[in-house]
């Protein structure tokens, strides 16, 4: 299973939110590159980089941060947040992203999202499936759609999606545990999907549980920044 630390960006700084609430923001480092380089120094090979300013602005904002990290590390970067137009995706890839994640656009403009799948290939496009009470949330989690999670995933799998990041918003940033049963249900129903679990991962045991559940990857954020999971302890999964 792939270990994928998260760096969320607001005003060019490394931050974490709680349940996606911009008013519950904590700055962990003024320079995200320092954080990324520390991850790489511990053997981490992948990074989930989220442009929270972009998510709110509805277009890419922090591509310079992406470019700096891509230039100064060898991390394979998945970039998301604010990718709402072809130009946003072009900038993200030209700035060094290996993959991009689209969530809101997959709900509100599926034709555009499917166009990215065709243009760049399913190995470079990740479906963002952010869920609250069983339904897909969009627009930086500020808005809830009527789309049911499993129907949403099934539809896009039929359209050749290979990767999906699924975040249970109620768990995100709370350090109270991950939505293990949800991920078990998803991997059982869609074994062909490369599922990346996100939100609430708090302990090494949970990382092991997600691996045993068949998850392709696990995104870990606040648990690393708050010291609940030590980077050294993750080496057994790398």
Alpha-carbon span 8 to 51, nearest angstrom = 6
- b/e code 100-134 from CB counts within 10 Å (16+ = b): bbbbbbbbeeeebbbebbeeeebebbbbbbbbbee
- Spacing of C-alpha 12 from chain mean position: 18
pLDDT, position 95: 98
Residues 136 and 129 sit within 8 Å (Cβ to Cβ): yes
- In which band, very low, low, confident or very high, does the pLDDT at 6 lie, cut at 50, 70 and 90? very high
- Per-residue pLDDT tens for 58-107? 999 999 999 999 999 999 999 999 999 999 999 999 999 999 999 999 99
Q: How far apart are CA 198 and CA 236, in angstroms?
A: 19
Confidence of residue 174 (pLDDT cuts 50, 70, 90): confident
Cα(47)–Cα(141) distance, integer angstroms:
21
- What is the distance in angstroms between the CA of the first residue and the CA of the last residue of the chain? 8
pTM of the model: 0.95
| CA torsion angle 12 18 24 25 (round to 10) | -20
Q: How confident is the model at residue 140, as a pLDDT?
A: 60
- Given this model, what pLDDT does residue 128 score? 96
Grouping H, G, I as helix, E, B as strand and the rest as coil, residue 185 is helix
Q: What is d(CA 87, CA 17) in angstroms, rounded to the nearest whole number?
A: 27
Q: Name beta bridge partners: 198.
A: 167, 219
Per-residue model confidence as pLDDT tens digits over 138-148: 876 666 788 99
The alpha-helical segments, DSSP class H, found in 58-179 are 63-72, 86-94, 104-108, 110-120, 149-158
As given in the structure block, the two tokens for residue 40 are 């790489």
State whether CATH 3.30.479.30 applies to domain 2-237.
Answer: no
Q: Say whether 209 is catalytic.
A: no
In this predicted model, which residue has the larger pLDDT, 189 or 143?
189
**CA contacts within 13 A on the Cβ side of 192:** 9
Give the span between the Cα atoms of 78 and 96, in whole angstroms.
9
The residue assigned the tokens 């900038």 is 91
DSSP bridge pairs for 175: none
Quick one: how many helices (H) and strands (E) in the chain?
A: 10, 12
**Active-site hit among 8, 53, 88, 209:** 8
Q: Is 53 a catalytic residue?
A: no
Question: What does the mean pLDDT of the chain come to?
Answer: 95
Three-state DSSP at 132 gives strand
The DSSP symbol for 234 reads: G
Catalytic residue (choose from 51, 53, 78, 130): 130
**What does the domain layout of the chain look like in residue ranges?**
2-237
């Amino acid at each position: 299973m792939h270990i994928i630390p998260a760096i969320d960006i607001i005003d060019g700084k490394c931050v974490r939110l709680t349940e996606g609430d911009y008013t519950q923001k904590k700055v962990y480092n003024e320079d995200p590159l320092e954080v990324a380089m520390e991850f790489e120094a511990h053997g981490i090979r992948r990074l989930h980089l989220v442009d929270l300013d972009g998510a709110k602005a509805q277009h890419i904002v922090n591509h310079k941060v992406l470019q700096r990290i891509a230039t100064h590390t060898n991390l394979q970067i998945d970039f998301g947040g604010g990718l709402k137009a072809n130009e946003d995706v072009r900038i993200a890839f030209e700035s060094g992203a290996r993959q991009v994640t689209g969530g809101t656009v997959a709900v509100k403009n599926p034709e555009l999202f499917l166009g990215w799948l065709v243009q760049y290939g399913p190995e470079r496009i990740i479906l963002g499936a952010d869920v609250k009470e069983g339904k897909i949330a969009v627009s930086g989690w500020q808005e809830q759609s009527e789309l049911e999670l499993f129907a949403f995933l099934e539809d896009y799998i039929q359209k050749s999606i290979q990767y999906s990041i699924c975040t249970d918003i109620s768990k995100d940033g709370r350090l109270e545990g991950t939505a293990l049963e949800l991920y078990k249900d998803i991997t059982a129903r869609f074994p062909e999907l490369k599922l990346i679990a996100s939100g609430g991962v708090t302990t090494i045991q949970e990382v092991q549980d997600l691996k045993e559940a068949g998850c392709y990857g696990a995104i870990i954020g606040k648990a690393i920044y708050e010291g609940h999971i030590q980077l050294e302890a993750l080496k057994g999964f790398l």
